[in-house]
Amino acid sequence: MTAATTILLLNGPNLNLLGTREPDVYGYETLDDVEQLARAAAEAHGWSLESLQSNHEGVLIDAIHAAAGTAAAVVINAGAFTHTSVAIRDALAAVALPVVEVHLSNVHRREEFRHHSYISGVADAVIVGAGVDGYRLAVDHVASKLGR
Ligand code: CA2
């Protein structure tokens, strides 16, 4: 089997709106900006980046399944599905790839319902509150974990 050379970046519901609304919470950078910086970080470690944003839980789950055997790791901001989706957690556990969970905002400084994540229990690392930098930190962490 050849070594996986791709990092899968997943962004969940409403993150397509980044940079267009609520800049006080989510900043001014767009989803394109996020993808560009994550791609630059992945390429600096010799990987390519596959990026998908979806507002649909099943689409994210299908992408996680497809990552098995093709991706080296998954970086995921599941948006509000973080706090609701046992199904995304189960998909991540099933593929058994390194997972880094990212949140732009510091969810622990926000409403109580954002404090629990179904994903954290199957993630290798969780990065919250670092804004878009969190995505770069996530890719760098995966590289360090995989000895890249
Ligand atoms: O802080 C994060 O990255 C979140 O995952 C963002 C989710 C939220 O439900 C989580 O609790 C924390 C919401 C994403 C919505 O993104 C928007 C971006 C711009 C404007 C409106 C929504």
- Sketch the domain layout of the chain as residue ranges: 6-146
Per the model's pLDDT, the better-predicted residue between 4 and 81 turns out to be 81
Query: How far is the centre of ligand 1, averaged over its atoms, from the C-alpha of 41 (Å)?
Result: 22
* Nearest atom (ligand 1) to Cα of 128: 1
CATH 2.40.128.110, domain 6-146, yes or no:
no
In this predicted structure, the answer to whether residue 78 has a pLDDT above a threshold of 70 is yes
Tokens of 138: 């996530």
Instruction: Record the tokens describing residue 131, joined without a space.
Output: 């804004």
Confidence of residue 22 (pLDDT cuts 50, 70, 90): confident
Q: Is 114 in the pocket of ligand 1 (CB under 6 A)?
A: yes
DSSP 39-84: HHHHHHTT-EEEEEE-S-HHHHHHHHHHHTTTEEEEEEE-GGGGGT
Q: For position 6, what pLDDT does the model report?
A: 97
Distance 95 CA to ligand 1 centre (A): 25
**15 Cα–ligand 1 center, Å:** 6
- pLDDT for residue 1 is more than 60: no
> Which protein residue's CA is at the shortest distance from atom 5 of ligand 1?
79
**Is the per-residue pLDDT at 133 higher than 80?**
yes
